[in-house]
Structure 1
Amino acid sequence: MVDLCDKIGDIEYATRLFNHVSNPNVFLYNSIIRAYTHNSLYPSVIRIYKQVLANSLEFPDRFTFPFVFKSCASLGSCYLGKQVHGHLFKFGPDCQVVTENALIDMYMKFDALDDAHKVFDEMPEKTIVSWTAMISGYTGAGCYGEAMELFREMQLAGIDPDEISLISVLPSCAHLGSLELGKWIHIYAERKGFLRQTGVCNALIEMYSKCGMISQAIKLFDRMKGKDVISWSTMISGYANHGNAEGAIETFGGMQRAEVKPNGITFLGLLSACSHVGLWQQGLKYFDMMREDYHIEPKIEHYGCLIDVLARAGELERAVEVTKTMPMKPDSKIWGSLLSSCRTRSNLDVALLAMDHLVELEPEDMGNYVLLSNIYADLGKWEEVSRLRKLIRKGNMKRTPGCSLIEVDNVVQEFVAGDDRKPFWTEICSVLQLFSAHQDQDVIENNITLASIEMVGF
């Protein structure tokens, strides 16, 4: 009966039924725990779980733990989750893979990557769900290289990717610019019939957009059936990132005609598109539309985009006014955006205002001082330029090193300025010097280049 109440959504009646049983068995405990989990009543799950532990005649089993782990993750309590993990060793030595998958998922949501990987490594049997939980967790934690490596290991283990695993790894391809793997996934998904899944298409559109293949993203978007709000928003953001405001605005018009309700991400894309081409009045229109027509409460990201729209268009005073009226405190990104725009407009007053806040928020960021120094230089205020340079040297400030990525043989290599720990670092520098020596030539003959590369040991 508790299971039936769970299925029809009558959790109150399920609770009354459970409370009328004087000595519940583990089956009934599991039923009410499952019902509470399905209804997001996570504190109640933990309360019932404690009742199970207090019952000397009944013990939690392999059907109990997955829902308890999910509840711990949803409550954000890593300490509680580790306690339950300890109970698993005591009560569930014969637990099935579904319990271990739930445990991996819990640790990943806590960003406890080492704990998750330890559970994963010790699993005697790894299913597609196990691999996907790891890949998704690494992607969510920003460990994109590790996510892609696990995806390859999964295939080497003889497990074919499914739709969920593809959706999990594609954001990593997008962030690292791994176009070759992304293309392979597209071909694989088409062969398997996964392109009928909206989520797979959405992830591919994002990947192509972030890898610079906007034409391929548009082609895939146009062929899609049943576009959802994520589809439209992803395409709008893709156009925005490529500086195509017209494409973003036209896509939003199509979204409205399709009667798909936009969300906050949609308007972030629109505001970003307006920012790239200086459409500040259109940006204000979308900002007001978001609040008044769709009743979406702007977040700090929306205010940041609006301020960037105004600042880039030269409406610095309007931008400053937004910083004064927004309901939350502007962050360093907002003040940094204002400071950057001040150089183009030679507006020292707003630059100094922005710098005052940046010194408070990130006092050791050398880039802000360099920006202000450049503004002083443009205005011919060389004494101030000298003062800032002395301040930078005195404060031992460091600039954030530049970083670039390149994909070779389906492996993404990262290069950071000043990092000489890379394998073959000396040889790489020799090749770069070789290309630098020929950079003024209109044409570099392939045979000369290859011969030179062979000379340095490749």
Structure 2
Amino acid sequence: MVLIYFWVNNATCSSNSGPCQFISRACYIFRCLLSPQFKLSSTQDVYVCNVKIGALSRAGKIEAARQLFDEMPTKDVVTWNAIVTGYRKNGILENQETVRLMPARNVVSWNSMIAGCFENEMVDEAFRYFRSMPERNIASWNAMISGYVKYDRLEEASRLFEEMPRRNVISYTAMIDGYAKKGDLERARDF
């Protein structure tokens, strides 16, 4: 992310430059969030706890993330998404049950569950989540198509591709990749 910032903005890094000061501050905050001295209090902001759950999950400390989640007096949909995504990213299937307990879900919640199903070879379960979604975005459709392609279920991927209300480069790339890997270059070219 940092390298992308510098590349896009043609920025250089010196000790007095704004980007370096920003990065230094962000690293300091991240270290503070991961420190054991960072304790939960009832007055703590939900946003800060959400950030820490995400940071702990990315660092592979899912047990600590879950402990913080359990101790939080107030949770929002972002909190739930953070813990579910943390489970998924750490390869833990318990997130399936966690999602069932969610009081509210948004499209991010659903998309995370679909991705988790595909990561754990639960293709039919992913489709059930997809069909249960009250609303879908292009990421939902692309996750399903890419997942079907990954498991060589190209007919189902193609059917969803045709149903999509809107397609983007990811949609087309997934289909082209799937047919090309199968050796069906003619169908790949059709896309």
TM-score normalised by length of structure 1:
0.34
The partner residue of 1:167 within 99, 111, 120 is: 111
CA contact (8 A) 1:177 1:210 kept: no
Residue in 1 that maps onto 2:94: 146
CA contact (8 A) 2:57 2:86 kept: yes
Q: CA deviation at 1:163?
A: 0.8
Tell me which of the two structures has the higher relative contact order, counting C-alpha pairs closer than 8 angstroms and 6 or more residues apart: 2
SS of the residue 2:94 aligns to: helix
Q: Deviations over 1:132-164 (max 9, x none)?
A: 111212222233x2232322332xxxx242110
Give runs of aligned pairs for residues 11-410 of structure 1, distance below 5 A.
41-45=22-26, 68=29, 72=30, 80-83=32-35, 86-89=37-40, 93-143=42-92, 145-154=93-102, 159-189=103-133, 192-194=134-136, 197-240=137-180, 243-246=182-185, 249-250=188-189, 254=191
CA contact (8 A) 1:178 1:211 kept: no
For residues 123 and 184 of structure 1, what CA distance do their matches in structure 2 show?
31
Q: Amino acid of the residue matched to residue 34 of structure 2?
A: K
CA contact (8 A) 1:108 1:137 kept: yes
Quickly say closer, same or farther: Cα 1:179–1:210, change in 2 above 3 A: same
For residues 56 and 21 of structure 2, what CA distance do their matches in structure 1 show?
19
SS of the residue 2:74 aligns to: coil
Q: Amino acid of the residue matched to residue 201 of structure 1?
A: W
For residues 161 and 244 of structure 1, what CA distance do their matches in structure 2 show?
39
For residues 238 and 201 of structure 1, what CA distance do their matches in structure 2 show?
15
Q: Amino acid of the residue matched to residue 103 of structure 1?
A: K
Q: Amino acid of the residue matched to residue 105 of structure 1?
A: G
Residue in 2 that maps onto 1:443: none
CA contact (8 A) 2:84 2:98 kept: yes
CA contact (8 A) 1:170 1:203 kept: yes
For residues 198 and 166 of structure 1, what CA distance do their matches in structure 2 show?
12
Quickly say closer, same or farther: Cα 1:247–1:209, change in 2 above 3 A: farther
Give runs of aligned pairs for residues 425-440 of structure 1, distance below 5 A.
none
Quickly say closer, same or farther: Cα 1:109–1:208, change in 2 above 3 A: same
For residues 131 and 40 of structure 1, what CA distance do their matches in structure 2 show?
32
For residues 43 and 153 of structure 2, what CA distance do their matches in structure 1 show?
49
Percent identity, aligned pairs only? 23
When the two chains are superposed, the root-mean-square deviation of aligned CA atoms in Å is 3.1
For residues 199 and 162 of structure 1, what CA distance do their matches in structure 2 show?
13
CA contact (8 A) 1:171 1:206 kept: no
Q: Deviations over 1:335-364 (max 9, x none)?
A: xxxxxxxxxxxxxxxxxxxxxxxxxxxxxx
SS of the residue 1:237 aligns to: helix
CA contact (8 A) 1:132 1:165 kept: yes
Q: CA deviation at 1:231?
A: 1.9
TM-score normalised by length of structure 2:
0.75
For residues 57 and 48 of structure 2, what CA distance do their matches in structure 1 show?
14
For residues 186 and 173 of structure 1, what CA distance do their matches in structure 2 show?
11
Q: Amino acid of the residue matched to residue 202 of structure 1?
A: N
Residue in 1 that maps onto 2:4: none
For residues 40 and 220 of structure 1, what CA distance do their matches in structure 2 show?
46
Say which one has the larger Rg: 1
Quickly say closer, same or farther: Cα 1:235–1:135, change in 2 above 3 A: farther
Give 5+ residue unaligned stretches, structure 1.
1-35, 48-67, 73-78, 255-458
CA contact (8 A) 2:107 2:135 kept: no
Name the count of aligned residue pairs: 176
Q: Deviations over 1:245-298 (max 9, x none)?
A: 3266325xx3xxxxxxxxxxxxxxxxxxxxxxxxxxxxxxxxxxxxxxxxxxxx
Quickly say closer, same or farther: Cα 1:46–1:206, change in 2 above 3 A: closer
Q: CA deviation at 1:240?
A: 4.6
Q: CA deviation at 1:43?
A: 0.9
Q: CA deviation at 1:212?
A: 4.8
CA contact (8 A) 2:114 2:130 kept: no
Q: Amino acid of the residue matched to residue 110 of structure 2?
A: L
